[in-house]
A and B are shown apart, each in its own frame.
Chain A
Protein backbone atom coordinates (compact mmCIF):
# COMPACT_ATOMS: atom_id res chain seq x y z
CA UNK A 1 0.00 0.00 0.00
CA UNK A 2 2.70 2.45 1.03
CA UNK A 3 4.66 1.31 -1.99
CA UNK A 4 1.77 2.15 -4.31
CA UNK A 5 1.49 5.55 -2.63
CA UNK A 6 5.20 6.12 -3.09
CA UNK A 7 5.01 5.22 -6.79
CA UNK A 8 2.11 7.61 -7.34
CA UNK A 9 3.96 10.37 -5.51
CA UNK A 10 7.07 9.83 -7.66
CA UNK A 11 5.02 9.83 -10.88
CA UNK A 12 3.13 12.97 -9.91
CA UNK A 13 6.34 14.70 -8.82
CA UNK A 14 8.04 13.93 -12.14
CA UNK A 15 5.02 15.13 -14.13
CA UNK A 16 4.95 18.35 -12.10
CA UNK A 17 8.67 18.88 -12.70
CA UNK A 18 8.13 18.30 -16.41
CA UNK A 19 5.27 20.83 -16.54
CA UNK A 20 7.33 23.36 -14.57
CA UNK A 21 10.25 23.03 -16.99
CA UNK A 22 7.88 23.67 -19.88
CA UNK A 23 6.37 26.73 -18.14
CA UNK A 24 9.64 28.22 -17.00
CA UNK A 25 11.75 27.62 -20.12
CA UNK A 26 8.89 28.39 -22.48
CA UNK A 27 10.26 26.00 -25.14
CA UNK A 28 8.13 25.58 -28.25
CA UNK A 29 5.78 22.63 -28.02
CA UNK A 30 7.38 20.83 -30.97
CA UNK A 31 10.58 20.58 -28.90
CA UNK A 32 9.05 19.63 -25.56
CA UNK A 33 5.29 19.40 -25.12
CA UNK A 34 4.01 19.55 -21.55
CA UNK A 35 2.38 16.55 -19.89
CA UNK A 36 -1.08 18.09 -20.18
CA UNK A 37 -0.64 18.53 -23.91
CA UNK A 38 0.58 14.92 -24.24
CA UNK A 39 -2.41 13.66 -22.26
CA UNK A 40 -4.70 15.64 -24.54
CA UNK A 41 -3.06 14.10 -27.62
CA UNK A 42 -3.25 10.66 -26.08
CA UNK A 43 -7.00 11.00 -25.66
CA UNK A 44 -7.72 12.64 -29.00
CA UNK A 45 -5.44 10.32 -30.99
CA UNK A 46 -6.39 7.22 -29.05
CA UNK A 47 -7.94 5.47 -32.05
CA UNK A 48 -4.77 6.03 -34.04
CA UNK A 49 -2.33 4.88 -31.33
CA UNK A 50 -4.21 1.78 -30.14
CA UNK A 51 -3.71 -0.47 -33.22
CA UNK A 52 0.00 0.35 -33.33
CA UNK A 53 0.27 -0.39 -29.60
CA UNK A 54 -1.45 -3.72 -30.15
CA UNK A 55 1.07 -4.71 -32.82
CA UNK A 56 4.05 -3.76 -30.68
CA UNK A 57 2.58 -5.61 -27.71
CA UNK A 58 2.13 -8.70 -29.88
CA UNK A 59 5.75 -8.48 -31.06
CA UNK A 60 7.04 -8.14 -27.51
CA UNK A 61 4.96 -11.00 -26.11
CA UNK A 62 5.73 -13.33 -29.04
CA UNK A 63 9.43 -12.47 -28.78
CA UNK A 64 9.38 -13.08 -25.05
CA UNK A 65 7.69 -16.46 -25.41
CA UNK A 66 9.90 -17.66 -28.27
CA UNK A 67 13.10 -16.28 -26.74
CA UNK A 68 12.36 -17.80 -23.34
CA UNK A 69 11.54 -21.19 -24.81
CA UNK A 70 14.62 -21.17 -26.99
CA UNK A 71 16.84 -19.99 -24.12
CA UNK A 72 15.32 -22.54 -21.74
CA UNK A 73 15.87 -25.39 -24.17
CA UNK A 74 19.45 -24.30 -24.82
CA UNK A 75 20.20 -24.13 -21.09
CA UNK A 76 18.75 -27.60 -20.51
CA UNK A 77 20.63 -29.06 -23.49
CA UNK A 78 23.89 -27.53 -22.26
CA UNK A 79 23.31 -29.11 -18.86
CA UNK A 80 22.32 -32.54 -20.16
CA UNK A 81 25.01 -32.79 -22.84
CA UNK A 82 27.92 -31.12 -21.09
CA UNK A 83 30.37 -31.53 -24.03
CA UNK A 84 28.05 -29.26 -26.00
CA UNK A 85 29.07 -26.40 -23.73
CA UNK A 86 32.56 -26.00 -25.16
CA UNK A 87 31.11 -25.73 -28.65
CA UNK A 88 28.07 -23.64 -28.00
CA UNK A 89 29.21 -21.19 -25.32
CA UNK A 90 31.57 -19.19 -27.59
CA UNK A 91 28.81 -18.90 -30.18
CA UNK A 92 26.41 -17.70 -27.53
CA UNK A 93 28.79 -15.06 -26.25
CA UNK A 94 29.65 -13.91 -29.77
CA UNK A 95 25.94 -13.57 -30.55
CA UNK A 96 25.62 -11.26 -27.57
CA UNK A 97 28.73 -9.26 -28.43
CA UNK A 98 27.23 -8.26 -31.79
CA UNK A 99 25.03 -5.20 -31.33
CA UNK A 100 21.44 -6.07 -32.21
CA UNK A 101 21.10 -2.62 -33.80
CA UNK A 102 23.70 -3.63 -36.37
CA UNK A 103 21.76 -6.77 -37.22
CA UNK A 104 18.40 -5.03 -37.52
CA UNK A 105 18.68 -4.08 -41.22
CA UNK A 106 19.78 -7.61 -42.05
CA UNK A 107 16.85 -9.15 -40.20
CA UNK A 108 14.48 -6.82 -42.00
CA UNK A 109 16.05 -7.84 -45.30
CA UNK A 110 15.63 -11.52 -44.50
CA UNK A 111 12.28 -11.58 -42.73
CA UNK A 112 10.55 -8.63 -44.37
CA UNK A 113 8.84 -5.56 -42.94
CA UNK A 114 6.21 -7.51 -41.00
CA UNK A 115 5.93 -9.06 -37.60
CA UNK A 116 8.56 -11.77 -37.99
CA UNK A 117 11.62 -9.54 -38.21
CA UNK A 118 10.60 -7.72 -35.00
CA UNK A 119 9.91 -10.94 -33.15
CA UNK A 120 13.30 -12.24 -34.32
CA UNK A 121 14.92 -9.07 -32.99
CA UNK A 122 13.23 -9.45 -29.61
CA UNK A 123 14.22 -13.13 -29.49
CA UNK A 124 17.85 -12.22 -30.20
CA UNK A 125 17.94 -9.74 -27.37
CA UNK A 126 16.12 -12.01 -24.89
CA UNK A 127 17.86 -15.26 -25.69
CA UNK A 128 21.16 -14.60 -23.98
CA UNK A 129 20.03 -13.39 -20.53
CA UNK A 130 17.57 -16.25 -20.25
CA UNK A 131 20.07 -18.89 -21.36
CA UNK A 132 22.94 -17.60 -19.25
CA UNK A 133 20.95 -17.21 -16.04
CA UNK A 134 19.05 -20.47 -16.38
CA UNK A 135 22.15 -22.47 -17.29
CA UNK A 136 23.94 -21.04 -14.29
CA UNK A 137 21.05 -22.05 -12.06
CA UNK A 138 20.97 -25.57 -13.46
CA UNK A 139 24.69 -26.03 -12.87
CA UNK A 140 25.04 -24.40 -9.49
CA UNK A 141 23.09 -27.01 -7.69
CA UNK A 142 23.85 -28.30 -4.21
CA UNK A 143 26.06 -31.35 -4.87
CA UNK A 144 24.60 -32.90 -1.70
CA UNK A 145 21.24 -33.21 -3.45
CA UNK A 146 22.84 -35.07 -6.34
CA UNK A 147 24.64 -37.41 -3.92
CA UNK A 148 21.35 -38.08 -2.21
CA UNK A 149 19.61 -38.77 -5.51
CA UNK A 150 22.39 -41.11 -6.59
CA UNK A 151 22.21 -43.18 -3.39
CA UNK A 152 18.40 -43.25 -3.52
CA UNK A 153 18.22 -44.34 -7.11
CA UNK A 154 19.48 -47.86 -6.69
CA UNK A 155 21.14 -50.21 -9.14
CA UNK A 156 19.94 -48.54 -12.31
CA UNK A 157 20.95 -45.06 -11.21
CA UNK A 158 18.61 -42.11 -11.30
CA UNK A 159 17.42 -41.35 -14.77
CA UNK A 160 18.77 -38.00 -15.82
CA UNK A 161 15.19 -37.04 -16.56
CA UNK A 162 13.93 -37.60 -13.05
CA UNK A 163 16.82 -35.74 -11.42
CA UNK A 164 16.31 -32.92 -13.92
CA UNK A 165 12.59 -32.80 -13.26
CA UNK A 166 12.57 -33.28 -9.50
CA UNK A 167 15.75 -31.49 -8.44
CA UNK A 168 17.59 -29.47 -11.09
CA UNK A 169 14.67 -27.65 -12.67
CA UNK A 170 12.97 -26.53 -9.46
CA UNK A 171 16.33 -25.57 -7.93
CA UNK A 172 17.15 -23.44 -10.99
CA UNK A 173 13.80 -21.69 -11.06
CA UNK A 174 14.91 -18.59 -9.11
CA UNK A 175 17.92 -18.14 -11.44
CA UNK A 176 15.65 -18.62 -14.44
CA UNK A 177 13.40 -15.97 -12.91
CA UNK A 178 16.15 -13.36 -12.76
CA UNK A 179 17.01 -14.09 -16.40
CA UNK A 180 13.39 -13.76 -17.42
CA UNK A 181 13.03 -10.48 -15.52
CA UNK A 182 15.97 -9.00 -17.42
CA UNK A 183 14.55 -10.39 -20.66
CA UNK A 184 11.16 -8.81 -19.96
CA UNK A 185 12.78 -5.47 -19.35
CA UNK A 186 14.78 -5.50 -22.61
CA UNK A 187 12.24 -7.19 -24.89
CA UNK A 188 10.56 -3.86 -25.89
CA UNK A 189 13.95 -2.56 -27.04
CA UNK A 190 14.19 -5.38 -29.57
CA UNK A 191 10.71 -4.82 -30.93
CA UNK A 192 11.01 -1.03 -31.20
CA UNK A 193 14.45 -1.13 -32.81
CA UNK A 194 13.03 -3.50 -35.37
CA UNK A 195 10.19 -1.10 -36.06
CA UNK A 196 12.57 1.83 -36.46
CA UNK A 197 14.65 0.07 -39.08
CA UNK A 198 11.77 -0.90 -41.28
CA UNK A 199 8.10 -1.38 -40.66
CA UNK A 200 4.63 -0.25 -41.56
CA UNK A 201 3.04 -0.56 -38.13
CA UNK A 202 3.83 -0.48 -34.43
CA UNK A 203 4.62 2.19 -31.85
CA UNK A 204 8.19 2.53 -33.17
CA UNK A 205 6.86 3.22 -36.64
CA UNK A 206 4.32 5.72 -35.26
CA UNK A 207 7.03 7.53 -33.29
CA UNK A 208 9.26 7.75 -36.34
CA UNK A 209 6.38 9.16 -38.40
CA UNK A 210 5.43 11.65 -35.70
CA UNK A 211 9.03 12.72 -35.32
CA UNK A 212 9.35 13.39 -39.05
CA UNK A 213 6.27 15.60 -38.94
CA UNK A 214 7.27 17.46 -35.80
CA UNK A 215 4.29 15.93 -33.96
CA UNK A 216 6.33 15.75 -30.82
CA UNK A 217 3.23 15.46 -28.64
CA UNK A 218 2.14 12.32 -30.53
CA UNK A 219 5.65 10.93 -30.13
CA UNK A 220 5.48 11.44 -26.40
CA UNK A 221 2.05 9.88 -26.25
CA UNK A 222 3.31 6.77 -28.05
CA UNK A 223 6.32 6.67 -25.76
CA UNK A 224 4.04 6.85 -22.73
CA UNK A 225 1.96 3.94 -24.01
CA UNK A 226 5.11 1.93 -24.64
CA UNK A 227 6.38 2.65 -21.13
CA UNK A 228 3.08 1.65 -19.54
CA UNK A 229 3.00 -1.56 -21.59
CA UNK A 230 6.57 -2.47 -20.65
CA UNK A 231 5.99 -1.77 -16.95
CA UNK A 232 2.73 -3.70 -16.95
CA UNK A 233 4.36 -6.70 -18.60
CA UNK A 234 7.22 -6.60 -16.12
CA UNK A 235 4.86 -6.42 -13.15
CA UNK A 236 2.88 -9.37 -14.54
CA UNK A 237 5.97 -11.53 -15.10
CA UNK A 238 7.40 -10.55 -11.73
CA UNK A 239 4.17 -11.46 -9.95
CA UNK A 240 3.99 -14.80 -11.74
CA UNK A 241 7.59 -15.66 -10.93
CA UNK A 242 7.09 -14.79 -7.28
CA UNK A 243 4.15 -17.16 -7.13
CA UNK A 244 6.16 -19.99 -8.67
CA UNK A 245 9.19 -19.49 -6.42
CA UNK A 246 7.30 -18.58 -3.25
CA UNK A 247 9.49 -21.01 -1.27
CA UNK A 248 12.41 -18.65 -1.68
CA UNK A 249 13.20 -16.74 1.49
CA UNK A 250 13.95 -13.47 -0.37
CA UNK A 251 10.27 -12.52 -0.40
CA UNK A 252 9.59 -9.87 2.18
CA UNK A 253 13.09 -8.42 2.24
CA UNK A 254 12.33 -5.88 -0.48
Chain B
Protein backbone atom coordinates (compact mmCIF):
# COMPACT_ATOMS: atom_id res chain seq x y z
CA UNK B 1 0.00 0.00 0.00
CA UNK B 2 1.82 3.08 -1.25
CA UNK B 3 0.07 6.28 -0.36
CA UNK B 4 0.51 8.95 -2.98
CA UNK B 5 1.90 11.46 -0.53
CA UNK B 6 4.78 9.26 0.65
CA UNK B 7 7.86 10.60 -1.03
CA UNK B 8 10.46 8.75 1.06
CA UNK B 9 10.80 5.34 -0.49
CA UNK B 10 12.60 2.57 1.40
CA UNK B 11 16.13 2.12 0.14
CA UNK B 12 16.51 -1.31 1.71
CA UNK B 13 14.21 -4.08 0.71
CA UNK B 14 11.75 -4.72 3.50
CA UNK B 15 12.49 -7.46 5.96
CA UNK B 16 10.35 -9.62 8.18
CA UNK B 17 11.28 -10.51 11.73
CA UNK B 18 10.62 -13.69 13.68
CA UNK B 19 10.88 -13.77 17.46
CA UNK B 20 10.85 -17.23 19.01
CA UNK B 21 10.97 -18.57 22.53
CA UNK B 22 10.86 -15.11 24.06
CA UNK B 23 10.61 -15.02 27.84
CA UNK B 24 10.80 -12.31 30.48
CA UNK B 25 11.31 -12.57 34.21
CA UNK B 26 11.81 -10.04 36.96
CA UNK B 27 13.59 -11.11 40.15
CA UNK B 28 12.80 -14.77 39.50
CA UNK B 29 9.12 -14.09 38.75
CA UNK B 30 8.19 -15.12 35.23
CA UNK B 31 6.14 -12.54 33.35
CA UNK B 32 5.85 -14.55 30.16
CA UNK B 33 7.66 -17.38 28.46
CA UNK B 34 7.90 -19.07 25.10
CA UNK B 35 6.25 -16.24 23.21
CA UNK B 36 6.56 -16.15 19.41
CA UNK B 37 5.93 -13.06 17.36
CA UNK B 38 6.24 -12.57 13.62
CA UNK B 39 6.50 -9.19 11.96
CA UNK B 40 5.51 -9.46 8.31
CA UNK B 41 7.74 -7.61 5.87
CA UNK B 42 6.47 -4.19 4.92
CA UNK B 43 3.56 -4.29 7.35
CA UNK B 44 2.59 -2.58 10.58
CA UNK B 45 2.18 -4.96 13.49
CA UNK B 46 0.66 -3.58 16.67
CA UNK B 47 1.66 -5.16 19.96
CA UNK B 48 -1.34 -4.41 22.15
CA UNK B 49 -1.55 -5.08 25.85
CA UNK B 50 -2.12 -3.58 29.28
CA UNK B 51 0.83 -1.86 30.96
CA UNK B 52 3.34 -3.98 32.85
CA UNK B 53 2.81 -6.99 30.64
CA UNK B 54 6.23 -6.82 29.01
CA UNK B 55 5.47 -5.16 25.66
CA UNK B 56 8.43 -2.83 25.93
CA UNK B 57 10.71 -5.70 26.99
CA UNK B 58 9.74 -7.60 23.87
CA UNK B 59 10.53 -4.52 21.77
CA UNK B 60 13.87 -4.10 23.52
CA UNK B 61 14.67 -7.74 22.83
CA UNK B 62 14.17 -7.12 19.11
CA UNK B 63 16.14 -3.88 19.28
CA UNK B 64 19.04 -5.64 20.97
CA UNK B 65 18.82 -3.33 23.97
CA UNK B 66 19.68 -4.56 27.47
CA UNK B 67 16.80 -5.00 29.88
CA UNK B 68 17.40 -3.24 33.17
CA UNK B 69 16.29 -5.25 36.17
CA UNK B 70 14.66 -8.06 34.22
CA UNK B 71 15.97 -10.99 32.24
CA UNK B 72 14.85 -11.58 28.66
CA UNK B 73 15.57 -14.63 26.59
CA UNK B 74 14.62 -15.51 23.05
CA UNK B 75 15.89 -15.53 19.52
CA UNK B 76 15.30 -12.78 17.01
CA UNK B 77 15.79 -13.49 13.33
CA UNK B 78 15.45 -11.38 10.23
CA UNK B 79 13.77 -12.98 7.23
CA UNK B 80 16.88 -12.56 5.08
CA UNK B 81 19.13 -14.24 7.63
CA UNK B 82 21.38 -11.23 8.17
CA UNK B 83 21.75 -9.66 11.61
CA UNK B 84 19.28 -6.93 12.54
CA UNK B 85 21.80 -4.59 14.13
CA UNK B 86 22.13 -1.43 12.09
CA UNK B 87 18.82 -1.96 10.31
CA UNK B 88 16.54 -0.70 13.07
CA UNK B 89 15.15 2.74 13.81
CA UNK B 90 13.68 3.33 17.24
CA UNK B 91 11.09 5.81 18.41
CA UNK B 92 10.17 5.99 22.08
CA UNK B 93 7.33 7.49 24.07
CA UNK B 94 9.59 10.37 25.04
CA UNK B 95 11.01 12.35 22.11
CA UNK B 96 14.61 11.96 23.42
CA UNK B 97 15.64 15.18 21.71
CA UNK B 98 18.98 16.55 22.90
CA UNK B 99 18.20 19.96 24.42
CA UNK B 100 21.53 21.52 23.44
CA UNK B 101 21.18 20.79 19.72
CA UNK B 102 19.03 22.62 17.22
CA UNK B 103 16.12 20.78 15.64
CA UNK B 104 18.04 19.96 12.48
CA UNK B 105 21.09 18.80 14.44
CA UNK B 106 18.81 16.53 16.43
CA UNK B 107 17.58 14.98 13.20
CA UNK B 108 21.23 14.51 12.19
CA UNK B 109 22.37 12.96 15.48
CA UNK B 110 22.47 9.43 14.07
CA UNK B 111 24.72 10.52 11.21
CA UNK B 112 26.99 12.30 13.66
CA UNK B 113 27.19 9.38 16.06
CA UNK B 114 28.30 7.13 13.25
CA UNK B 115 30.92 9.47 11.88
CA UNK B 116 32.23 12.94 12.42
CA UNK B 117 30.76 15.90 10.65
CA UNK B 118 27.92 15.77 8.14
CA UNK B 119 27.94 16.73 4.54
CA UNK B 120 25.54 18.97 2.71
CA UNK B 121 23.59 16.01 1.35
CA UNK B 122 22.66 14.78 4.84
CA UNK B 123 21.61 18.28 5.81
CA UNK B 124 19.48 18.55 2.73
CA UNK B 125 17.79 15.27 3.52
CA UNK B 126 17.18 16.27 7.15
CA UNK B 127 15.64 19.53 6.01
CA UNK B 128 13.45 17.67 3.54
CA UNK B 129 12.23 15.33 6.30
CA UNK B 130 11.54 18.27 8.60
CA UNK B 131 9.53 19.74 5.77
CA UNK B 132 7.51 16.54 5.55
CA UNK B 133 6.57 16.75 9.22
CA UNK B 134 5.83 20.45 8.75
CA UNK B 135 8.73 21.83 10.78
CA UNK B 136 11.24 23.07 8.18
CA UNK B 137 10.77 26.63 9.42
CA UNK B 138 11.84 25.61 12.94
CA UNK B 139 15.07 23.84 11.87
CA UNK B 140 17.32 26.24 13.79
CA UNK B 141 15.23 26.37 16.99
CA UNK B 142 16.08 24.47 20.12
CA UNK B 143 13.72 21.68 21.24
CA UNK B 144 12.64 23.68 24.30
CA UNK B 145 10.93 26.19 21.98
CA UNK B 146 8.62 23.49 20.59
CA UNK B 147 5.38 21.98 21.88
CA UNK B 148 5.17 18.31 22.84
CA UNK B 149 3.50 17.41 19.54
CA UNK B 150 6.12 19.27 17.51
CA UNK B 151 8.91 17.58 19.44
CA UNK B 152 7.47 14.18 18.68
CA UNK B 153 7.27 15.17 15.01
CA UNK B 154 10.97 15.98 15.13
CA UNK B 155 11.53 12.55 16.68
CA UNK B 156 9.61 11.06 13.74
CA UNK B 157 11.82 12.97 11.30
CA UNK B 158 14.89 11.68 13.16
CA UNK B 159 13.53 8.14 12.89
CA UNK B 160 12.98 8.60 9.14
CA UNK B 161 16.48 10.08 8.76
CA UNK B 162 17.85 6.75 9.92
CA UNK B 163 16.14 5.22 6.87
CA UNK B 164 16.05 1.69 8.28
CA UNK B 165 13.84 -1.15 7.02
CA UNK B 166 12.60 -2.04 10.52
CA UNK B 167 11.02 0.63 12.74
CA UNK B 168 10.28 -0.08 16.39
CA UNK B 169 7.87 2.34 18.06
CA UNK B 170 7.28 2.21 21.80
CA UNK B 171 4.02 4.06 22.51
CA UNK B 172 5.23 7.02 20.45
CA UNK B 173 1.92 8.88 20.60
CA UNK B 174 0.70 8.11 24.09
CA UNK B 175 1.97 11.29 25.75
CA UNK B 176 0.18 13.56 23.28
CA UNK B 177 -3.22 15.18 23.45
CA UNK B 178 -6.01 13.61 21.39
CA UNK B 179 -5.91 15.97 18.41
CA UNK B 180 -2.11 16.00 18.14
CA UNK B 181 -2.04 12.23 18.47
CA UNK B 182 -4.64 11.86 15.72
CA UNK B 183 -2.64 14.02 13.30
CA UNK B 184 0.73 12.47 14.11
CA UNK B 185 -0.68 8.96 13.65
CA UNK B 186 -1.71 10.00 10.17
CA UNK B 187 1.69 11.50 9.36
CA UNK B 188 3.51 8.44 10.66
CA UNK B 189 1.28 6.06 8.72
CA UNK B 190 1.94 8.03 5.55
CA UNK B 191 5.70 8.40 5.96
CA UNK B 192 6.37 4.89 7.23
CA UNK B 193 4.17 2.97 4.81
CA UNK B 194 5.99 0.10 3.15
CA UNK B 195 8.32 -0.44 6.10
CA UNK B 196 8.18 -3.19 8.66
CA UNK B 197 6.88 -1.50 11.79
CA UNK B 198 6.30 -2.75 15.30
CA UNK B 199 3.99 -0.43 17.21
CA UNK B 200 3.78 -1.06 20.94
CA UNK B 201 0.60 0.45 22.34
CA UNK B 202 -2.03 0.04 25.03
CA UNK B 203 -4.68 1.86 23.00
CA UNK B 204 -6.98 -0.45 20.95
CA UNK B 205 -8.18 2.36 18.65
CA UNK B 206 -4.59 3.34 17.85
CA UNK B 207 -3.74 -0.26 17.02
CA UNK B 208 -6.88 -0.56 14.88
CA UNK B 209 -6.25 2.68 13.10
CA UNK B 210 -2.64 2.03 12.10
CA UNK B 211 -1.78 -1.62 11.88
CA UNK B 212 -2.19 -4.44 9.40
CA UNK B 213 -2.19 -6.94 12.21
CA UNK B 214 -2.71 -6.80 15.97
CA UNK B 215 -0.89 -9.10 18.38
CA UNK B 216 -2.45 -9.16 21.81
CA UNK B 217 -0.11 -9.64 24.76
CA UNK B 218 -2.26 -10.28 27.82
CA UNK B 219 -3.73 -12.82 30.19
CA UNK B 220 -2.62 -14.96 33.13
CA UNK B 221 -0.20 -16.39 32.34
CA UNK B 222 0.64 -13.77 29.74
CA UNK B 223 0.20 -15.07 26.23
CA UNK B 224 0.48 -13.66 22.78
CA UNK B 225 -2.58 -14.10 20.58
CA UNK B 226 -3.46 -12.77 17.16
CA UNK B 227 -6.47 -10.48 17.22
CA UNK B 228 -7.68 -11.85 13.90
CA UNK B 229 -8.66 -10.08 10.72
CA UNK B 230 -9.14 -6.33 10.89
CA UNK B 231 -11.67 -4.12 9.06
CA UNK B 232 -10.81 -4.06 5.36
CA UNK B 233 -10.19 -0.32 5.07
CA UNK B 234 -7.02 1.46 3.86
CA UNK B 235 -4.63 2.56 6.62
CA UNK B 236 -4.84 4.90 8.47
CA UNK B 237 -8.31 3.53 9.04
CA UNK B 238 -10.84 6.24 9.80
CA UNK B 239 -12.27 5.78 13.29
CA UNK B 240 -15.80 5.98 11.88
CA UNK B 241 -15.24 3.24 9.29
CA UNK B 242 -17.72 0.37 9.56
CA UNK B 243 -16.91 -2.07 12.32
CA UNK B 244 -14.15 0.06 13.88
CA UNK B 245 -16.00 1.18 16.99
CA UNK B 246 -17.34 -2.28 17.75
CA UNK B 247 -13.90 -3.80 17.23
CA UNK B 248 -12.21 -1.23 19.48
CA UNK B 249 -14.79 -1.87 22.16
CA UNK B 250 -14.31 -5.64 22.00
CA UNK B 251 -10.49 -5.31 22.15
CA UNK B 252 -10.78 -2.98 25.11
CA UNK B 253 -13.17 -5.41 26.76
CA UNK B 254 -10.66 -8.23 26.21
CA UNK B 255 -7.86 -6.19 27.82
CA UNK B 256 -10.09 -5.15 30.70
CA UNK B 257 -11.29 -8.72 31.33
CA UNK B 258 -7.77 -10.03 31.48
CA UNK B 259 -6.71 -7.14 33.63
CA UNK B 260 -9.56 -7.86 36.05
CA UNK B 261 -8.67 -11.54 36.14
CA UNK B 262 -5.07 -10.57 36.96
CA UNK B 263 -6.15 -8.36 39.76
CA UNK B 264 -8.41 -11.02 41.22
CA UNK B 265 -5.92 -13.80 40.70
CA UNK B 266 -2.94 -12.01 42.20
CA UNK B 267 -3.88 -12.13 45.94
CA UNK B 268 -4.32 -15.90 45.81
CA UNK B 269 -1.18 -16.52 43.79
CA UNK B 270 2.04 -17.35 45.58
Chain A residues bordering chain B, tally (CB within 8 A): 26
Tell me whether B222 is interfacial, beta carbon within 8 Å.
Answer: no
Q: Are B89 and A167 in contact (CB under 8 A)?
A: no
Which of B94, B100, B162 lies at the interface centre, i.e. has the most chain A CB atoms within 10 A of its CB?
Answer: B100
- B109 near A166 (CB under 8 angstroms)? yes
Complex Cα distance, B113 from A156, in Å, reads: 12
A-B contact pairs, 27 of them (CB 8 A): A142-B96, A143-B68, A144-B92, A144-B94, A145-B98, A147-B63, A147-B92, A148-B109, A151-B90, A152-B109, A152-B110, A152-B114, A154-B86, A154-B114, A155-B83, A155-B85, A155-B86, A158-B114, A162-B112, A162-B113, A162-B114, A162-B116, A170-B98, A171-B98, A171-B100, A247-B99, A247-B142
Q: Determine if A149 is an interface residue (Cβ-Cβ < 8 Å).
A: yes
Q: Which of B83, B90, B144 has the most CB of A within 10 A?
A: B90
Interface membership of B179, Cβ < 8 A: no
Interface pair A152/B85, CB less than 8 Å apart: no
Task: For the complex formed, measure the closest distance between the CB of B145 and the CB atoms of chain A, giving whole angstroms.
Answer: 10
The residues of A that contact B110 with a CB separation of less than 8 Å are 152
Interface presence of A99 (CB below 8 A): no
Chain B interfacial positions (CB closer than 8 Å to A): 60, 63-65, 68, 83, 85-86, 88-90, 92, 94, 96, 98-100, 109-110, 112-114, 116, 142, 144, 162, 168
| Chain B residue contacts of A147, Cβ below 8 A | 60, 63, 65, 90, 92
Is the C-beta of A249 less than 8 angstroms from some C-beta in chain B? yes
8 shortest interchain CB distances as A-B pairs: A154-B86, A152-B110, A151-B90, A155-B86, A247-B100, A155-B85, A170-B100, A144-B96
Task: Given A147-B65, A151-B63, A151-B65, check contact A249 B144 (CB 8 Å).
Answer: yes
Interface residues, chain A, with chain B CB atoms under 8 Å away = 142-145, 147-156, 158, 162-163, 166-167, 170-171, 173, 245, 247-249
**How many whole Å from A150's CB to the nearest CB in chain B?**
6
Using CB atoms, name the residue of chain A closest to B115.
Answer: A162
Which A-chain residue is minimally distant from B94 (CB atoms)?
A144
Tell which of A151, A156, A158, A171 touches B88, judged by Cβ atoms closer than 8 Å: A151
**A67 CB to nearest B CB, Å:** 25
Q: A144-B94, A170-B100 are in contact. Are A153 and B113 (CB under 8 A)?
A: yes
Closest chain A CB from B159 CB (angstroms) = 10
B96–A152 CB distance below 8 A: no
Complex CA gap A51/B83 in Å reads 69
Inter-chain CA distance A212–B73, complex, in Å, is: 76
Residue of A nearest to B168 (CB): A151
**Within the complex, what minimum Cβ distance (angstroms) separates A246 from chain B?**
9
Q: Which residues of A contact B142 (CB under 8 A)?
A: 247
Closest Cβ of chain A to B169, distance in Å, is 12
Contact among A143, A156, A166 for B112, CB-based, below 8 A: A166
Whole-angstrom CA separation of A158 from B65 in the bound complex: 13
- The answer for the CA separation of A15 and B113 in the assembled complex, in Å, is 56
Given contacts A143-B68, A145-B98, A151-B63, contact A166 B85 (CB under 8 A): no
B119 to chain A, nearest CB (A): 17
CA distance A247 to B83 in the complex (A): 38
| Residues from chain B with Cβ under 8 Å of A163 in the complex | 113
| A153, A154, A158, A167 pick with most chain B CB within 10 angstroms | A154
Interchain CB contact under 8 A, A148 and B92: yes
- Distance of A173 Cα from B98 Cα, bound (Å): 13
CA distance A247 to B114 in the complex (A): 24
> Do residues A148 and B96 form an inter-chain contact, with CB atoms below 8 A?
yes
Min Cβ gap A163→B in Å is 7
Could you tell me the distance between the alpha carbons of A156 and B96 in the complex, rounded to whole angstroms? 22
A245-B96 Cα distance, complex, nearest whole Å: 18
Q: Provide the bound-state CA to CA distance between A171 and B114, in Å.
A: 19
How many whole Å from B244's CB to the nearest CB in chain A?
33
- A161 nearest in chain B by CB position: B116
Q: Within the assembled complex, what's the spacing in Å between the Cα atoms of A151 and B109?
A: 12
Q: Contacts of B89 on A, CB cut-off 8 Å?
A: 151-152
Residue of A nearest to B86 (CB): A154
How far is it, in angstroms, between the C-alpha of A142 and the C-alpha of B95 when the chains are bound?
A: 12
The residue on A at minimum CB distance from B90 is A151
* Bound form: Cα–Cα A162–B113 in Å: 6
Q: Which residue of B lies closest to A170 (CB)?
A: B100
Q: Complex Cα distance A41/B112, Å? A: 59
With A148-B109, A247-B142 given, name 4 new contacts (CB 8 A): A144-B96, A152-B89, A155-B83, A247-B100
Report if A247-B94 is in contact (Cβ < 8 Å); known contacts: A143-B68, A166-B112: no
User: What distance in Å separates the Cβ of A10 from its nearest Cβ neighbour in chain B?
Assistant: 33
